[in-house]
Chain A
Amino acid sequence: MKKKIGVYICHCGGNISDYVDVEKVKKSIEDEGGVYLAKTTMFACSDSNQKDMVDDIKGNELNGIVVASCSPKLHLTTFRNVSERADLNKYNYVHANIREQDSWAHSDDKNGATEKAILLVKAAIAKARLAEPLIPNKIQAQKAVAVIGGGIAGMKAAIALSDKDCPVYLIEKAPFVGGRVAQWGNMFTSNQTGEELITKLYHELIKRKNITLFTGAEVTHNAGSIGDFRLKVSVQPRYFTGTCEEKQLQQAIDACPVEVLDEFNFNLTKRKAIYRNAASEYPQTATIDMENCTRCGKCEAICDKIDLSQKEEILDLHVGSVLMATGFDPYTPAEGEYGYNEVDNVLTLPQFVRMLELSDKKLIRNGKEIKNIAYIYCVGSRQEEDGNTYCSRYCCTSAIHTSVEVKKKFPGVYNYHFNRGIRTYGKQELLYAESLQLGDIYLQGDEESLPEVSGESGKTMVKVKDILSAGRLIEVEADLVVLVTGMVPRADNSVGSMFKLPKGRDKFFNEIHMKLRPVETFIDGVTIAGACQGPKNIMESVNSALAAATKSYSYVSKGELETEPIVAEVDAELCSWCDACTAACPFDAISMTNESSKAIALINNSVCKGCGMCLPVCPTDALNLIAYSNNEIESMIDALAAG
C-alpha cells in the first residue's frame, strides 16, 4: 500500500523555531516520497493541534505520521495516543527530535540547525515509509506488590496498597521495622514522637491480612519483569521459638559475653549480641545479632525458647510490581571533619538526638554539664563539586527543632547555630522564628569561610567569619559541637543494582521525570518512594510513598498489561546458538531453546527492552529488532547521507 504520510513540525513556542527555520524545514520535505501533507505548529503537543492531527489522519486517510518536536522521552505516548484516536496503528508514527538533538544543541548556528532538522525529518520520513503496524504484547500482571524497606515510606506504602485490596509483601532487612523514624523523639510539626508514629503504623500493618511482613529479610535474586517479577527472599531467623520469660531473657542478655556498639543509638551506647528491640521498633521481641554472636550457647542454656540452630529460609515471591523504599544513610563525617573523632565533644545530629532521648535530668558529656552547644550546618551537604553538592533539605529544620527541644528540656542551655543560610521552607519558618524568640544565636558563614573547630587544652572552640555581623570573626567556646549531617544514599546498593535502577548525579535513585513521572523508574514496574529518591522530611516521604503506591497499584490492578512489541526476534534458520547474544543482553532476556531439535536463541518478550545490544554481536545476522530492521535503519542513513 502506498504510504500517505503527514508531517508535523513543531515551533515548541520558540524553543525550536528561535533557532530552526521551521517553515524552511516544511518546504524542504514537502516533496519527499510518501509525504501527503506537511504542517508547522506552535505546540504539537497542544490539545488543539492533537485535534487537528486526528482530523487530518481521518480526513485524508493518512497511514503514517512524523512528528518533529522535542525528545520522544516527553511525548512519545502523547502522539501514539493521537494515532490511536485516529484509528491509525500507533507504530506508524515516527518521531524526529529536533529540539534536544538540534535547536538546543546548535543555538549558535541557525543555518546549520535548520539543515540538520531537514535531515532528521527526512530520515524519520524514510522510516515512516517502511513502518509496519504492530500489536503490543499482552502479559498477565500478578496482583501483588513487593515493598522493599520497612521505614516510614515502606510501611505507609504497604498500608495504602493493602487498603486497595492488593496483597503486599513488606521486606525489611533489619530485624525490626520502623526505620529512621523509630530513632527520633518529638517530631516537627505534629509533636508526635517517632515511637508513637511507628507504633500506630505497625498496628495498622499487622491488622491487615493481606500484608505479609518479613523482617531480617533481603531480596537476593530477581528474575522477570513488570507484571511478573520472581523474587527470591532470604529470611534470617530470629533464633527464638517463642517468647522467653522476661526475667530469663534479662539473665540471657546478662550472660552474653559479646558487647558491640549499638547502631540504634548511633554507637553512643553498647549492647549485647542478644538484645531487645528499642521501644519504637517492631515486632517487640528480642533477637540475636549473628554477625557478632560467638555461639557460646550461654543464652540458650538459660532460656529454652532460644534456638541457635535455626536456619535462614529462602522464599519465592511472585509480584507484579516492586516498590523500592530503601531510605538513606546519615552522612558520616570524615575523620577530623569539623573535629569529628578528633575533638572529644563533637557529635552528629542523629547521635545528639539519641543522646537527648537517653538524657534525663541533666545533659552531660564526659562528666561535664553542657551549657553551650554549637551546631554546624551543612555537614556532608552543599559540598564542593566532587562531594555531595546537593542540599539535604531536612537538616535545617531538624537541627532547629532539636535545639528548641533541648531548650525546653534543659532551659539553661545556650544554642549557637553556625549555618550557611537557614532553609526552613514553608511553614517550618515558624520554628526558626520560635528559636530566635528563645534567644538562640545564629552565625552565618559561606562556602569561602566555613566554621572551624579546634580542641586545645580541654577547650573546644568554634569560630567563623560571621556574615551577619559584617564579617567579624566570632569565636564560641562549646561544651558540645553538633554536626548537622545530611542524607546520603545507602552505602549498600545491592538491591538497587539487582534491579538495575539508575541513579542521579546525587547518587540517589533517579525518577524518570521529576514532574511527569516522579515515582517511576526506567525499569518498568519498579517504583521509588521516600528518601531513596533524594532527601525528604517525613511528610514528603509519605506523600511520595503514597504516590508510588498509586502507581504500583495501577500496574497490577487490571490483571493485564501491555508491553512494547519493539523487541528482538530470532531467525530460527540462521541462528546457530553461539551464545554471543546472551552475554550482550543487559536484561537477561535471552535463553536457549530447542526448535525442531536445533538449539536456538529465545527472546523473552516481556523482559526484552528492544535496546538492540544483541544485534551487532550475532555472527550470522539471525537477530532482527522489530521496527528497527536493517532496511529501516539503512533507509534512514541514506536519507541523512543524501543531504
Chain B
Amino acid sequence: MNGPSNQLNFDALVVGGGIAGGEAALNLASTGYKVLLVEKELSIGGKMIMLSKVFPTLDCAACITTPKVSEISRHPNITIFTSSEISSINKIAENNFEATVVRQPRYVVIEDCTACQLCEQACPVSVPDQYQYNLVGRKAAFIPFSIASPKAAAIDIENCVLCGACEKVCPTNCIDFTQEVETFQVNAKTVILATGFKLFDPLMIPRYGFGLYKNVITSMQMERELAPTRPFNTVLRPGDGKVPDKIAYVLCTGSRDATIGNPICSQICCMYSIKQAQLLMGALPMADVTIYYINIRSFGKGFDEFYQQAKGMGVNFVKGKIGKISEQGNGNLTLRYEDINEGIVKEADHDMVILSVGVLPNQDASDFFGQDELQLDPYNFIHQTDVLASPALTSIKGVFVAGTASGPMDIPDSILSAGSASSEAISYLIQE
C-alpha cells in the first residue's frame, strides 16, 4: 500500500522522541521549519516521562514532560510517527537526505480512540508491562501508560490471541486488525539524531543476583515505584510485597567497570540515586537508606548542595564497591563489600537492593546510513567530530546529534545539547 501519500517532504527529520529529540523538534518547528519526529515506542516522551521526580529541583518529571510532549504533539509544524523506525538514510547531496521510515501497525486508529480502556478490561491476555519495567502486568490490548502521547490503545500483536474481545467492546470501532506495516519515503534537508541511550542490563553481572533474587531491582524499577503513576501506590519489594525498611543502593552497576566493557562513568546514577533516597525518606520515613559508592559525582548546578541535603536527611553513604550479593531465606539480602574508610571487607544485610544501572549507547543510528559512515566513538556513542567547538557535529555534514546519543548526560545537559543541535541544523538549513 505504498501510494504517493507515502512520499513525504520535511525540512528536518528528528530521530527519537525523548526529551532531546522533542526539544530539538520544537526549536526547529517554532523557527518555522517542518519537522518529522520518528519514535520507536508507542509514545513520545522517552525515558524522562517514565521518571518520578527529577534532581536537583525535585520537580515531578511528568509535570515538566507532559506539557512539552503536549506542545510537541500539537505543533502545526511537527508530524509525529510513533511505533516507527528508520530503515535507512541516504545523503543525496547537501540539504537532501532520503530516509525510509517503517511504521509498525498499532491495530488501533489513534484519532478514533478515546482511551476508555474498555479493550484493556476485555482482553484476556496478561503479559509483563514494559512501561512499568515488568513490575506489574498489562493486557495485550493496552494503553501504554496513563500520560502517554498519543494517549491511545495499542494491540501487542505478538501476545494477542486474536479472540476479538477488544473489537467487540470498543465503542468507537477504532480497533483495526487489518492495519499493515507501512513504509514511507521521506525527503528531509537535515537530520537530527536523538536516539538516546540504553540502560545497562544487570543480568550481565550475575554476582549481584538480579533476576534470581526478587528483591534486587533496578533503579528504573524504583523510579516507577516512586512515580506519581506508580503501579503499587506505595514502595514495596517485589518478592513478598513487604514495605522495605533497609534499602541499599549499589552505584556504578555497569559503569566504570572495564570487566563488562563499559569503562566510562554514566554521569547520572549518583544523582538519581541520591534523589531516590530522598524520595524514599519521604515515602517511608522509618526506612534506612544506604548508598554504596566509589565516588559521589554531584557536579552540576545545585547538585552538591543536593548531596549535602541527602546526608543531612540521614541517608547513609558508604564508600565501597559491592563485591557480591546473596539472598537469605526470608528474601533479605547480604551485601559483601570493601569498606574503604576502614580498609576491611564487610557484610551488611538489607531487605531490598537497588542496582543503580548505568548508561549504555543505543547503537541503532549506526545502521541508518548506507553510503556515508556515521562514526561512533570508542564506547559506541555517536562520535562528535568537533567536540569542543561544535559538539553537535557528526561525521556526516548535515546530520547532528542531540542528547545522550553522543554520551551520558543529565536532563539539563540533554536539553542544552538539543538547543545546540537545533542551532546547527537551522544554520545548515539557512546556509546551504
Contact = CB atoms under 8 A, between A and B. Distances in A.
A47 B72 CA distance: 10
A324 to B, nearest CB: 15
A542 B301 CA distance: 17
A274 interface: no
B413 interface: yes
Contacts of B419: 518-519, 543-544, 546-548, 550-551
Interface in B336-364: 340-344
A190 B388 contact: yes
Contacts of B135: none
B379 A390 contact: no
27 contacts: A12-B60, A13-B228, A43-B147, A45-B66, A47-B150, A50-B70, A78-B70, A81-B74, A164-B427, A164-B430, A189-B388, A201-B389, A390-B304, A391-B299, A391-B303, A426-B266, A426-B407, A467-B319, A505-B305, A506-B302, A514-B412, A515-B415, A543-B392, A544-B420, A546-B423, A547-B418, A554-B31
A389 B308 contact: yes
B67 A425 contact: no
A389 B227 CA distance: 30
B284 interface: no
Q: What is the size category of the interface that chain B forms with chain A?
A: 35 or more
A520 to B, nearest CB: 11
Interface of B: 27, 30-32, 54, 57, 59-60, 62-64, 66-71, 73-74, 115, 146-147, 149-151, 227-229, 256, 263-267, 295-305, 308, 319, 340-344, 377, 379, 384, 386-392, 407-409, 411-413, 415-420, 422-424, 426-427, 430-431
Contacts of B304: 382, 389-391
A13 B389 contact: no
A542 B389 contact: yes
Contacts of A81: 71, 74
Contact of B67 (A75, A201, A534, A553): A75
Nearest to A17: B228
Contacts of B27: 550, 554
A539 B391 contact: yes
A470 interface: yes
B399 to A, nearest CB: 16
Contacts of A469: 343
Contact of B263 (A12, A433, A540): A433
A345 interface: no
A425 B391 contact: no
Given A467-B341, A504-B302, A518-B419, 19 more contacts: A12-B228, A15-B60, A43-B66, A47-B70, A47-B73, A50-B70, A81-B71, A160-B427, A389-B305, A425-B265, A425-B297, A425-B408, A426-B264, A429-B264, A508-B301, A544-B416, A550-B27, A550-B422, A554-B27
Contacts of A391: 298-300, 303-304
Contacts of A46: 62, 66, 70, 146-147, 151
B33 to A, nearest CB: 11
B388 A539 contact: yes
Contacts of B64: 74, 515-516
Contacts of B70: 45-47, 50, 78
A533 B377 CA distance: 29
A575 B57 CA distance: 45
Contacts of A504: 301-302
Given A78-B70, A429-B256, A519 B430 contact: no
Q: A-B pairs with the 5 shortest C-beta distances?
A: A13-B228, A547-B419, A470-B343, A163-B427, A546-B420
Interface in A521-549: 533-535, 538-540, 542-549
Nearest to B384: A539
B186 to A, nearest CB: 24
A247 interface: no
A160 B423 contact: yes
B300 A393 contact: yes
Contact of B416 (A42, A505, A518): A518
Q: What is the size category of the interface that chain A forms with chain B?
A: 35 or more
A471 interface: yes
B68 A13 contact: no
A200 B301 contact: no
B388 A187 contact: yes
A597 interface: no
B237 to A, nearest CB: 20
Nearest to B258: A433
Contacts of B297: 421, 423, 425
Contacts of A550: 27, 31, 419, 422-423, 426
Interface in A102-132: none
A393 B265 CA distance: 14
A189 B384 CA distance: 11
B296 A538 contact: no
A45 B71 CA distance: 10
Interface in A44-89: 45-48, 50, 70, 74-75, 78, 81, 85
A540 B265 contact: no
A553 B63 contact: no
A425 B266 CA distance: 7
Contacts of A156: 389-390
Contacts of A14: 228
A361 interface: no
A198 to B, nearest CB: 10
B343 to A, nearest CB: 3
A554 B67 contact: no
A29 B63 CA distance: 25
A278 interface: no
A546 B424 contact: yes
Given A70-B63, A197-B389, A542-B389, A515 B267 contact: no
Contacts of A534: 300-301
Contacts of B71: 78, 81
Contacts of A42: 146, 228-229
A40 interface: no
Contacts of A545: 420
A197 to B, nearest CB: 6
A394 B430 CA distance: 34
Contacts of A85: 74
Contact of A467 (B59, B340, B431): B340
Interface string A154-176: 00100010011100000000000
A549 B425 CA distance: 12
Interface in A187-202: 187, 189-190, 192, 197, 200-201
B416 A543 contact: yes
A468 B340 contact: yes
B341 A47 contact: no
Contacts of A78: 67, 70-71
B424 to A, nearest CB: 7
A156 B423 CA distance: 11
A557 interface: yes
A546 B392 contact: yes
B430 A547 contact: no
B426 A553 contact: yes
Nearest to A558: B32
A285 interface: no
A43 to B, nearest CB: 6
Interface in A1-55: 12-15, 42-43, 45-48, 50
Nearest to B45: A47
A640 B408 CA distance: 49
Tell which of B63, B115, B296 has the most Cβ of chain A within 10 Å. B63
Tell which of A12, A70, A426, A505 has the most Cβ of chain B within 10 Å. A426
B295 A557 contact: no
B413 A540 contact: yes
A59 to B, nearest CB: 14
A192 B387 CA distance: 10
A514 B57 CA distance: 8
Interface string A380-404: 0010000001110100000000000
B22 to A, nearest CB: 12
A430 interface: yes
